[in-house]
Structure 1
Amino acid sequence: MPESPVITRSKQPGLFSLENVLTQRFGRDFFLNLPELPGVYFFTDRTDKLLYIGQSASLRGRLGSYRHVVEGRHPRRTLRLVARIHRIDWEICESPACAIARESELLLQHRPPFNRAGVWIGQPWWLDGGVVSGRLRLQVQRQQGEIGPLSPGFRHLFGVLARCVYRAACPDTPIHRYPCGLIRPSAPLSLSLVLPDPAWAWQTLASAARGDAADLLALLDAIPPAASLPEQEFWTDQRDQLQSYAAKATRVLLPPSALAPDPSLLPLELSL
């Protein structure tokens, strides 16, 4: 009689777990019962140290998106943040605009270590763009350009704007077919994109960069939801960030005098 085959089992049972650390720590019902209302939220570690402050037009949608943070698709900084979260609190606001204003106030007051934008005033950015050889070409730079001066946090919102414009221009293109630089968490400072109508794309992106994103938001809302839940939550997060950016329109375009940081508002020394 032949010997029975030897069955080897993985020594890493958690490797194939479909639940990330937040689902395991808080449970699915915690995220399902979050309010679908605008507000600010707070992440705290096991020692009650405040790690991060954020805001959203829908607390349930934004906080739920953190359940899908995985290695390889998100920055290591975000992975470290999620691993350290042991308490989640929130504060409901009257409107998305009120949530944005409240977040700005709290960021300057507390300066959590995992927040980058909004905790100090840094060097502004400028945006240049246009159609070159049938492509949409975009450049974010420190020297004076066509649109600006823009807030120091614009560097991290540039990728969101470019992705949203690309999706509005190519709604049938799945995200895995996007140009490599466009799907990085932090898009390169220079992008060259092939689009059906690059002139329209530049006008739309330029308007959104100036704070007028109504047309772009309407186009995004008209696109059918993505097939998978993680992709739906990804695009909800991108739209959420775009809407938040547009709501900050009066603070996005800085006055021309804001070309150097105030020494009294330089970043604090932080150890993560």
Structure 2
Amino acid sequence: MSEEPPRAIRRRQAALFRLGSVMCERFGEGYFAALPAGPGVYFFSDDTGRLLYIGQSSSLRARIGSYRYVTQGKHPRRTLRLVARIHRIEWELCESAAGAIGRESELLLERRPPFNRAGVWKGDPWWLSAWAGPEILQLRLSREKGGIGPLPPAFRHVFGSLARCVYRASLPELPEHRYPCGLMNAAVPLSLTLRLPAPQQALQHFIEGACGGIDALLALLDALPESGSPLMQEFWLEERERLENYAGKGKLCFEEGVGERLCGVEGASGFVLA
């Protein structure tokens, strides 16, 4: 078995180290400080001018600037690949955060950038089943009709963020490195079983969040002390923004009394994360 030459190892390690600061190297710190602070849509392109990604935010400066902190081990490989290819940044200002959300939806369907997953096509809806027992919260996302729904196709990308935020609000003293590893994956399993001290309350927050009502959950998160690591602070800000974007789209319509039906759902077996 051959070993990699030490010089090759050093080059590889240096390349990984530089990945976290590639945006600063390419654009400079002053570039990000000069970005507009208002709402809008932003566009990332490669060195040939090909559009890679479209996003939106209530603060372009904060959102675009957050890509400076993308690092290996903290972000999905897809995001790492995107950041490595960004050579041009453009934006379009909007009158309001709601206007930015609507404009992004239009542009995604029109231009379908390769690094966007949600919103580039009108896929099949999702249905959510959930159940709370003694110290257990079970969640299951399915294409089969039943439980809460129909949820928009983009809910697959919100499912993990909502589960992580509910978990954090339920166990505020637990440091992130002790979270179940499956829960911190970029794409969590479609079936989850979480061990929590107050599962009924967590169930309510999850149902409300799936229906676009995130105010109560965000209030709990806002009351928590910030994580010590700047990377984790940025991570939770991104999670919050993902929930806010989902709630702001206002696409959900639910039948009256669906919550009472959901409380009787059983058999949401899946991965036990504890």
TM normalised by structure 2 equals: 0.84
- Tell me the equivalent position of 2:63: 62
Partner of 1:198: 199
Counterparts in 2 of 1:17 and 1:81: CA distance versus 1, 3 Å: closer
**Who is 2:109 aligned against?**
108
CA displacement 1:132-186 (0-9 Å, x = unmatched) = 3430111011111211111111111100111111111122222111111110011
Q: Does 1:128 align with 2:132?
A: no
Q: Provide the rounded CA distance (Å) in 1 between the counterparts of 2:235 and 2:211.
A: 24
TM-superposed deviation, 1:71:
2.5
Please say if residues 135 and 197 of structure 2, whose CA atoms lie closer than 8 Å, have aligned partners that are also in contact.
no
For 1:44-83, what per-residue CA distance to the aligned partner results, in whole angstroms no more than 9, with x for missing partners? 1111111110011222222122122223332222222111
SS of equivalent to 1:103: helix
Partner in structure 1 of residue 118 of structure 2: 117
Residues 207-222 of structure 1: pairs in structure 2 closer than 5 A:
207-222=208-223
1:1-272 alignment runs, 5 A limit: 11-12=10-11, 13-17=14-18, 19-249=20-250, 251-253=251-253
- Residue aligning to 2:271: none
**Cα pair 1:129 1:139 within 8 Å, conserved:** yes
Taking every aligned residue pair, what percent have the same amino acid on both sides?
57
Q: Which runs of 4+ in 1 moved over 6 A?
A: none
**2 CA distance for matches of 1:45 and 1:137?**
42
Contact 1:150 1:254 in 2 (8 A): no
RMSD value over aligned CA atoms? Answer: 2.0
Q: Distance in 2 between matches of 1:252 and 1:179?
A: 30
Shift, 1:19, TM fit: 4.4
Q: Supply the distance in 2 between the matched residues of 1:247 and 1:175 (Cα, whole angstroms).
A: 27
Counterpart-to-counterpart distance in 2, 1:24 and 1:211: 39
* Amino acid in the other structure paired with 2:24: T
Say how many residue pairs are matched: 247
Q: Which amino acid aligns with 2:153?
A: P
Relative to structure 1, is the Cα distance of residues 171 and 102 closer, same or farther in structure 2, using a 3 angstrom cutoff?
same
**1:17 shift after superposition:** 4.3
- Matches of 1:254 and 1:123 in 2, distance apart? 16
Instruction: Name structure 1 gaps, 5 residues minimum.
Output: 1-7, 256-272
Q: Secondary structure at the match of 1:100?
A: helix
Aligned match of 1:260: none
For the residue of structure 1 that corresponds to 2:56, the secondary structure is strand
Secondary structure of residue in 1 paired with 2:202: helix
Distance 1:90 1:207, change over 3 A: same
Using the alignment, how far apart are the partners of 1:11 and 1:166 within structure 2? 39
Alpha-carbon separation, structure 1, partners of 2:39 and 2:219: 19
Query: In structure 1, how many angstroms separate the alpha carbons of the residues matched to 2:122 and 2:85?
Result: 27
Q: How far does the alpha carbon of each residue in 1:115-147 deviate from its partner, in whole angstroms, 9 at most, with x for none? A: 111111111111111113430111011111211
Assess if the C-alpha contact under 8 Å between 2:19 and 2:71 holds in 1: no
TM-score, structure 1 as length reference: 0.85
Give the SS at the match of 2:192.
Answer: strand
Q: In 2 relative to 1, CA 254–81 (structure 1 residues): closer, same or farther, beyond 3 Å?
A: farther
Of stretches 63-72 and 98-107 in structure 1, the one that deviates more from structure 2 is 63-72
For residues 60 and 125 of structure 1, what CA distance do their matches in structure 2 show? 33
